[in-house]
Structure 1
């Protein structure tokens, strides 16, 4: 599911942005950001560009190191008049762009930097927001994990019924008229740049959703390994299991606070060498999955507001749990005593967790079927049963199941082929899929038949014709040597077609001067309705003149008998009958040749009387399956 990445293969790269909000109506307000690489990963192979079209287009090329020192003309992702600076210091190498102040809405949006060294590459994104926006996000970046539920919210003075949403420049109709967009059961395909707007004029909300490729506690190729504890807002990388630290913190577990003037993976870069100055007003974006934040000790859209009270850390997102007076708004608690329920020299560890949470810092949610609580240390559910959609000893593995609709093709009277392959990112949960369970039943049946297969396509056989079949699929993942299946897919239905009706046999007749009563053996076709098409053709008139009149189709007949009327006396006709089910026709009967009687041989009234008797009784006679010979014996006719 993921490529294995070694610890030393992750580049130390950061986006630096000294003005995370700009006034798009002020030509003197320049938008600036840069891609920085720190030791030992300094490289000049850095590019800058626009991540997504947020209303201004996405034309042109990225800018590169060789653009440094130049004022940009047309042809790049940045407006003409923008300038690029390339900087080379011992502590870092950086490529910086100043977006032209007179470019209006092009100064804001989603931007990126990509740094490459040898075979390693790092892509990082940033959102630069407008000042005095009509719609503003509550959070610029949000990090979620597979299986999480996330709500993106905005604040606005506009009528919320006028709001619309986009993801990566694609409309989200279900978000229309809402100031909050909830995404359940997160997939990696939900990641990207979200916009909420009335008009995409640059004064609207732009935010980024980062999705880790594993559930919260897991990392690794199949999301089986447990993450380490990451302190101070650090987040476990889903590929390596390393803690990615927010701005102002470092260490294998992000427990070391660097203060508000140092940044980079090892805090080796300073904002100012002058005493007392800080990184206030600057936003930093380390590699995912951390996302962007103000330096430790500051928050706000412009990163210039100091943390208040017991808040500390990057973006003031953390809470101190030490006694009054010992909370440093940059690095947290510098020592005890700790508040009730917390321990450790920095008061970061929980003595116990509230119900529904577990882990060293109560950072994980329990997923138990019959109770809200789990083991406070392992996540194990006392009942032994995980909540629907979760598996593993700690119930922290998001089981695979289908988001996309299963497809049913090649439907015959007895078979249908079902396609349902699970795809990571597009479908729910984590893989790989070790097997599938295909469940099906007809509408008349109360229980499903289950077939287990490792293939992502399966043909269901031995079905009955003209039956509506319900089909659903479970995707299974091997956990501890056993296949554990995720939730049901959406049920899809398809109806088998009718079998081709058999050939009509036993076609016979009783004739009068101007009519013929036809009858034949009834054709059965399961529960499919059978109708009959009757065709005839005059081939000899008055037994003298050969003719070749057109074939006349009498249309659909629902019984195994029919009377042809208004025929010519003493004439010969060629007749055929075909059985049809659901527009599927069987083989036509053998041609039957019959002759009407001479005019006056019997009165019309007599034959009308006989015909009425025949027609009223023919269905009863067919129920005992009379052959043509039997008909003639009963009627004592030709």
Structure 2
């Protein structure tokens, strides 16, 4: 069921993504990726998105490694060779982005835009030597006809889920929903509710992906974006064959389906997110 009054952050297990419910007043979304380490000895990356809902031509993304030490006197950085940033959706937009070093930190990269024409989409940050582990965030334009109830939704195999979009504008057109850029559902213009719901019963791994909603005649850049992440195990289980029982994760934490560790929501820490 989708409601308008939910304010808690939604955790996403795979790659440890954490995003808040997106409303027009949200100005910051933090997306965390925790790993046991990689060739670069970077323990975690943080992708900071100051404006998920873009209202002006000035917008930015910042990818920062676990070393947050300020470098106020630094004018150069090797971070652009360490951290990679780019766009995964839509592929029709230019993929070469204005990525440069963020010299305020030891290891950080940033993207800065000066025009709105190229801001929309799904963006990622990763260690350049790690092509498979990426963290994601999303930018949508203020012209969007819908807003996602959350930037990410995480469920386990076999669970039911409602993918929800809140209508921002009244329009005399059908509403359409796409999955991974392929049409999957429409609602006649006279039947569009305040909260557009796409229900999935008994989620399968094939249901995972990027879901977008917009008016049928609207440009792709006016879409709302949310990602459905599906744990490979049933609720409460983890492991290669889902043979292990998950710990009880507190404060909205979720058991990682591959490591069994509790992935905590922002503001909490500890083995079971208890503090």
- Given candidates 118, 132, 138, the residue that maps to 1:127 is 138
- Given candidates 194, 198, 201, the residue that maps to 2:211 is 194
The Cα shift of 1:97 comes to: 0.6
The Cα shift of 1:13 comes to: 1.7
1:32 match = 60
Bigger RCO (CA 8 Å, 6+ sep) = 2
The Cα shift of 1:136 comes to: 1.4
Query: In structure 1, what is the Cα distance between the partners aligned to 2:222 and 2:132?
Result: 33
1:253 match = 272
- Given candidates 176, 180, 183, the residue that maps to 1:164 is 176
The Cα shift of 1:168 comes to: 1.2
Query: In structure 2, what is the Cα distance between the partners aligned to 1:121 and 1:45?
Result: 15
Q: C-alpha deviations, 1:392-438, integer Å up to 9, x for none?
A: xxxxxxxxxxxxxxxxxxxxxxxxxxxxxxxxxxxxxxxxxxxxxxx
The Cα shift of 1:245 comes to: 1.4
Which has the larger Rg?
Answer: 1
Aligned ranges 1:592-611 → 2 under 5 Å: none
Aligned ranges 1:70-469 → 2 under 5 Å: 76=96, 78=97, 82=98, 84-87=100-103, 89=105, 93-100=107-114, 102-104=115-117, 106-116=118-128, 122-131=133-142, 133-156=144-167, 157-158=169-170, 162-172=174-184, 174-177=185-188, 179-198=196-215, 199-256=218-275
RMSD over aligned CA atoms reads: 2.9
Are the counterparts in 1 of residues 64 and 105 from structure 2 also a CA contact under 8 Å?
A: no
Query: TM-score if structure 2 supplies the norm length?
Result: 0.70
Query: In structure 1, what is the Cα distance between the partners aligned to 2:99 and 2:131?
Result: 27
Query: In structure 2, what is the Cα distance between the partners aligned to 1:83 and 1:133?
Result: 26
Query: In structure 2, what is the Cα distance between the partners aligned to 1:98 and 1:35?
Result: 12
The Cα shift of 1:233 comes to: 1.5
The Cα shift of 1:85 comes to: 2.8
The Cα shift of 1:111 comes to: 1.0
Closer, same or farther: CA 83–95 of 1 in aligned 2, 3 Å: closer
Query: In structure 1, what is the Cα distance between the partners aligned to 2:131 and 2:92?
Result: 30
The Cα shift of 1:150 comes to: 0.9
Q: C-alpha deviations, 1:478-514, integer Å up to 9, x for none?
A: xxxxxxxxxxxxxxxxxxxxxxxxxxxxxxxxxxxxx
Q: Which one has the bigger strand percentage?
A: 2
Closer, same or farther: CA 122–13 of 1 in aligned 2, 3 Å: farther
Query: TM-score if structure 1 supplies the norm length?
Result: 0.32
Are the counterparts in 2 of residues 152 and 182 from structure 1 also a CA contact under 8 Å?
A: yes
Query: In structure 2, what is the Cα distance between the partners aligned to 1:109 and 1:19?
Result: 13
Are the counterparts in 1 of residues 62 and 102 from structure 2 also a CA contact under 8 Å?
A: no
Unaligned runs of 5+ in 1: 1-6, 61-75, 257-638
Query: In structure 2, what is the Cα distance between the partners aligned to 1:85 and 1:134?
Result: 34
Closer, same or farther: CA 85–8 of 1 in aligned 2, 3 Å: closer
Closer, same or farther: CA 234–98 of 1 in aligned 2, 3 Å: same
The Cα shift of 1:122 comes to: 2.6
Q: C-alpha deviations, 1:445-482, integer Å up to 9, x for none?
A: xxxxxxxxxxxxxxxxxxxxxxxxxxxxxxxxxxxxxx
